[in-house]
A and B are shown apart, each in its own frame.
Chain A
Amino acid sequence: MKTINEMALRFPSKSCNEAFARAAVSAFIAVLDPTVGELSDLKTAVSEAVTNCVVHGYRRGAGTIFLTGKITEDRRVIVKIRDKGVGIADVKQAMEPLFTTAAEEERAGLGFAVMQSFCDKVRVSSKPGKGTTVTLEKRIADV
């Protein structure tokens, strides 16, 4: 399917950039005139993925987060969030609801479950020591 718009961002792994990433993606998809619900779903999923880069990927240390966005002709939004952090050894286990490696930091283990329930598709590829890429896909209904 033809791509009608694209964007790429890079920003340091800081928790203040969670809000920046949500706002950037909102602005990017504004042309599709999403409903309040669609916008909120995608913002929440982006927030989960970026937070995971900050708290798990780079363990609150320094690092760069890469975010790309794409809009296709058939109104699908594809957002890719990538870090070059610690990576995930067992992706299947990490994606199980309530699984967390950071319970003592008051994490609920719901991030991937939220991404899956709020997007049409979620793809995770990761390699320990190399980093993690999360691809979110959501179709915005016709207006």
Chain B
Amino acid sequence: MKTTLEDGVLTAYLEGEIDHDAAVNMRRQLDASVQTVKPRVLCLDFAGVGFMDSSGVGLVMGRYRMMKLLGGSLYVVRVPERIYRIFAMSGLEGLGVLR
């Protein structure tokens, strides 16, 4: 997973298909990066995601809670329209993480 760090913002470029299988691996990688970098903001870039099921919502909600616990924030950006429909069902819209 490609990541960049700029002004305390850790951006992770998610790629491919996010199902339960893939979400487990992404979670492990994201949590390891956050532990070492300790960013102010974790930004998940969804532009490269071709498929997602509700496992992706769990992944985002879990990272949202983690960043909040660490006193930081989570942003989710560049979500393809088809995938946005699943986020819209989840109440994540109300948390202000989707931009």
Contact between A47 and B82, CB atoms less than 8 A apart: no
Chain B residues with Cβ below 8 Å from A140 are: none
- B17 proximal to A (CB < 8 A): yes
* Chain A-chain B contacts (Cβ-Cβ < 8 Å), number: 65
Q: Quick one: given A40-B51, A44-B53, A48-B53, are A114 and B20 in contact (CB under 8 Å)?
A: no
Chain B residues with Cβ below 8 Å from A77 are: none
- A98 proximal to B (CB < 8 A): yes
Q: Quick one: given A48-B54, A110-B54, are A37 and B21 in contact (CB under 8 Å)?
A: no
Chain B residues with Cβ below 8 Å from A22 are: 19, 51
State which residues 13-28 of B face A: CB under 8 Å.
17, 19-21, 23-24, 27
Chain A residues with Cβ below 8 Å from B23 are: 106
Chain B residues with Cβ below 8 Å from A19 are: 17, 19, 21
Contact between A51 and B20, CB atoms less than 8 A apart: yes
From the candidates A37, A40, A51, A98, name the one contacting B55 in the complex (CB within 8 A): A51
Contact between B89 and A110, CB atoms less than 8 A apart: yes
Contact between B89 and A114, CB atoms less than 8 A apart: yes
- A108 proximal to B (CB < 8 A): yes
- A113 proximal to B (CB < 8 A): yes
Number of interface residues of B (CB under 8 A): 23
- A54 proximal to B (CB < 8 A): yes
Chain B residues with Cβ below 8 Å from A110 are: 54, 57, 86, 89-90
Could you tell me the distance between the alpha carbons of A133 and B88 in the complex, rounded to whole angstroms? 27
Chain B residues with Cβ below 8 Å from A119 are: none
**Which residues of A are interface residues toward B (Cβ below 8 A)?**
15-16, 18-19, 22, 37, 40, 43-44, 47-48, 51, 54-55, 97-98, 105-108, 110-111, 113-114, 117
**Which residues of B are interface residues toward A (Cβ below 8 A)?**
17, 19-21, 23-24, 27, 51-55, 57-59, 61-62, 82, 85-86, 89-91
